[in-house]
């Protein structure tokens, strides 16, 4: 048969199960998945022998901030370094957050983000649109849906950045989501109580005494839980679909579970840092580097979130990649409220979930594929083009070795970050080979992509049916 490439001899994994099969690629698409395809290939077909490996759908990281101006600086990863890092980690699709600056329209933000990514990104990309100007932005939502953006984001905090939405704005946005078939992504933290707790500690004596521990001390779990509970109520009464981003607490998982049982259309995502790190990181020498928003919580929270992934109340793992170098983090000068919050994550997401989840018997491989590939594709309007290995789907593949471990070392990574939260950890699950629409981006664990061939992915509003 006249195929370009056959990925031969591996175990193909889906959200339903796994099977020994070859994968045939023509052009940018998968055209066949079956045993023995390599034997039927024409002599010109390239055969990639992946015997003993797992063949996964390329992962979808639907929570990424690249080339974002924030905290008087710009994230250290842009669409070049960020998507190189992604490819090494087996991620073949990202969805970034287009964010209007000042009084920009949503269309301004869309144009701005296309400019950042077009001709720069190595993998396919889409955007969520942040709603930061109440009614004015809400009126522009249908236009964004026509441009392929059915997912919107509101922040319950970040008044200082001019991004905050109040309850009325969240309520109104959820009503609009119901009308257009969209999904509202919410950063759920309770602003008024958070501000109060911060103000109580924001003086030199406390900062000298506690340092970056204040980041955790001023954000107890109820800061997230109360906000999730409130957002869920607005989803319940409006019927708009709600998606809680970067959920960090066990209490949040409980709330989402109970809401879903009552038939409320709420979904949630967690991130590797909430699963594999805990607040002891803030006690270390470089504790301030680990500041994220929300911050990593306790080991018990992490265990509850793993359970949520197994049971389905946590549907997605994405990274909230938002990288800052040591120099950028060092601007905090001992004041935790000045810390640029965020960490690199694209390169290590699948390896962390594979090593700490699958190899540690917390998740099955099928559940990893559901959380990192298939569920995000379904929820984000990309299925079955992405998130599954079947004829007709894009040839986005991540091939991983079941046991081969690599030691994390920022010096050898693609991310433009001069530190890594998992420095020195030995992880299996880095992509040995990565294919994006048939083009090989990673070979033998090294990035080899050329030409920045990532494309903008317009997305459709969807009614997702999830596999968990
Ligand atoms: Zn984020």
Helix (H, G, I), strand (E, B) or coil at 261: helix
CA of 338 to the centre of ligand 1 (A): 17
Enumerate residues 6+ apart whose C-beta is below 8 A from 349. Answer: 59, 61, 89, 91, 272, 317, 318, 319, 372
pLDDT digits (tens, 9 = 90+) for 123-134: 999 999 999 999
Which residues keep their CB under 5 angstroms from ion ligand 1? 320
Mean pLDDT of the region 292-313: 97
Question: Does the pLDDT at position 466 exceed 60?
Answer: no
If you measure from the C-alpha of residue 292 to the centroid of ligand 1, how many angstroms do you get, rounded to a whole number?
9
pLDDT at 102: 87
Q: Which residue ranges form the domains of the chain, and what is each CATH number?
A: 5-56+389-403+428-447 (2.30.40.10), 58-379 (3.20.20.140)
Task: State the chain's mean pLDDT as an integer.
Answer: 96
Residue 323 C-alpha to ligand 1 middle, in angstroms?
11
The mean pLDDT value for 322-350 works out to 96
Give the whole-angstrom CA distance, residue 339 versus residue 334.
Answer: 9
Ligand 1 center to 65 CA (angstroms): 6
Measure the CA–CA gap between 379 and 464, rounded to whole angstroms.
5
Tokens of 162: 């001019």
Predicted pLDDT of residue 72: 87
Percent of the chain topping pLDDT 70: 99
Q: Report how far ligand 1's centroid is from the alpha carbon of 272 (Å).
A: 13
Q: Per-residue pLDDT tens for 245-255?
A: 999 999 999 99
pLDDT range class, residue 4, cuts 50, 70, 90 = very high
User: H or E element: which one contains 407?
Assistant: strand 405-407
Whether 246 contacts 271, CB under 8 Å: yes
User: Is it the case that residue 463 has pLDDT exceeding 80?
Assistant: no
Using the mean position of ligand 1's atoms as its centre, give its distance from the Cα of residue 347 in Å. Answer: 16
| Global pTM exceeds 0.95 | yes
Distance 277 CA to ligand 1 centre (A): 18
pLDDT at 186 over 70: yes
Of residues 162 and 30, the one with the higher pLDDT is 30
Name the token pair of 461.
Answer: 């509003």
Answer whether residue 464 shows pLDDT above 90: no
Measured CA to CA in angstroms, residue 218 lies from 215, 273, 291, 383 at distances of 6, 19, 13, 40
CA–CA separation, 395 vs 435, rounded Å?
A: 7
CA of 64 to the centre of ligand 1 (A): 6
For residue 71, name the pLDDT band (cuts at 50, 70, 90).
Answer: confident
What pLDDT shows up at residue 467?
42
Share of the chain above pLDDT 90, in %: 95
In whole angstroms, give the CA distance from residue 166 to residue 157. 9
Q: CA-CA distance, 266 to 244, in Å (whole number)?
A: 8
Within 8 A by CB and 6+ apart from 115, the residues are: none
Name the least confident of 90-94, 219-223, 245-249, 282-286.
282-286
pLDDT of residue 397 exceeding 80, the answer is: yes
89-124: pLDDT as tens digits = 999 999 999 999 989 999 999 999 999 999 999 999
Q: What is the 37 CA–ligand 1 centroid distance (Å)?
A: 42
Distance 369 CA to ligand 1 centre (A): 22
Across the range 288-313, mean pLDDT stands at 97
| Mean pLDDT value of segment 253-272 | 97
62 CA → ligand 1 middle, Å: 10
Cβ atoms of residues 224 and 296 within 8 Å: no
**How many A from CA of 320 to the centre of ligand 1?**
5
Q: 207-210 contacts: CB < 8 A, separation 24 or more?
A: 207/334, 207/335, 207/336, 208/334
Nearest to 253 by CA among 241, 233, 269: 269
Tell whether the model's pLDDT for residue 77 goes beyond 50.
Answer: yes
Q: Are strands 69-70 and 183-187 parallel, antiparallel or unpaired?
A: unpaired
CA of 20 to the centre of ligand 1 (A): 37
CA distance 233 to 262: 11
Predicted pLDDT of residue 401: 98
């Amino acid at each position: 048969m006249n195929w370009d490439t056959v990925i031969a001899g591996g175990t193909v994994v889906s959200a339903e199960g796994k099977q020994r099969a070859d994968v045939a690629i023509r052009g940018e698409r998968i055209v066949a998945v079956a045993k023995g395809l390599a034997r039927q290939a024409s002599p010109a077909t390239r055969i990639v022998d992946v015997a003993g490996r797992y063949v996964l759908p390329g992962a979808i990281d639907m929570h990424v901030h690249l080339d974002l101006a924030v905290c008087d600086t710009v994230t250290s990863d842009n669409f070049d370094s960020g998507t190189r890092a992604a490819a090494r980690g087996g991620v073949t699709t990202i969805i970034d957050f287009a964010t209007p600056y000042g009084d920009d329209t949503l269309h301004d933000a869309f144009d701005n983000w296309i400019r950042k990514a077009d001709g720069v990104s190595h993998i396919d990309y889409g955007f969520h649109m942040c709603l930061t100007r109440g009614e004015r932005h809400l009126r522009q939502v249908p236009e964004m849906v026509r441009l392929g953006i059915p997912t919107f984001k509101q922040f319950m905090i970040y008044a200082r950045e001019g991004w905050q939405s109040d309850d009325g704005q969240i309520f109104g946005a959820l009503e609009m989501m119901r009308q257009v078939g969209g999904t509202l992504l919410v950063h759920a933290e309770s602003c008024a109580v958070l501000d109060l707790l911060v103000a109580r500690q924001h003086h030199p004596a406390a900062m000298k005494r506690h340092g970056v521990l204040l980041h955790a001390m001023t954000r107890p779990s109820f800061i997230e839980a109360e906000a999730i509970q409130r957002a869920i109520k607005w989803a319940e009464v409006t019927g708009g679909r709600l998606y809680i981003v970067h959920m960090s607490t066990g209490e949040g998982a409980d709330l989402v579970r109970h809401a879903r049982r009552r038939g409320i259309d709420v979904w949630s995502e967690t991130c590797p840092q909430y699963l594999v790190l805990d607040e002891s990181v803030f006690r270390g020498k470089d504790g301030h580097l680990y500041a994220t928003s929300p911050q990593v919580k306790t080991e018990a929270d992490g265990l509850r979130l793993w359970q949520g992934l197994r049971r389905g109340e946590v549907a997605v793992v994405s990274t909230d990649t938002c990288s800052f170098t040591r120099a950028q983090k060092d601007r905090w000068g001992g004041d935790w409220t000045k810390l640029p919050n965020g960490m690199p994550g694209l390169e290590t997401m699948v390896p962390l979930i594979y090593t700490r989840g699958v190899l540690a018997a917390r998740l099955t491989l099928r559940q990893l594929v559901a959380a990192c590939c298939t569920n995000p594709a379904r929820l984000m309007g990309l299925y079955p083009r992405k998130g599954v290995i079947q004829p007709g789907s894009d040839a986005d593949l991540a091939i991983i070795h079941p046991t081969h471990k690599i030691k994390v070392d920022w010096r050898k990574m693609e991310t433009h970050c001069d530190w890594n939260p998992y420095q020195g950890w030995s992880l299996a699950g880095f992509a040995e080979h990565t294919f994006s629409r048939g083009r090989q981006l990673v070979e033998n664990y090294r990035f080899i992509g050329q030409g920045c061939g990532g494309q903008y992915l317009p997305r459709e509003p969807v009614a997702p049916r999830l596999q968990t």
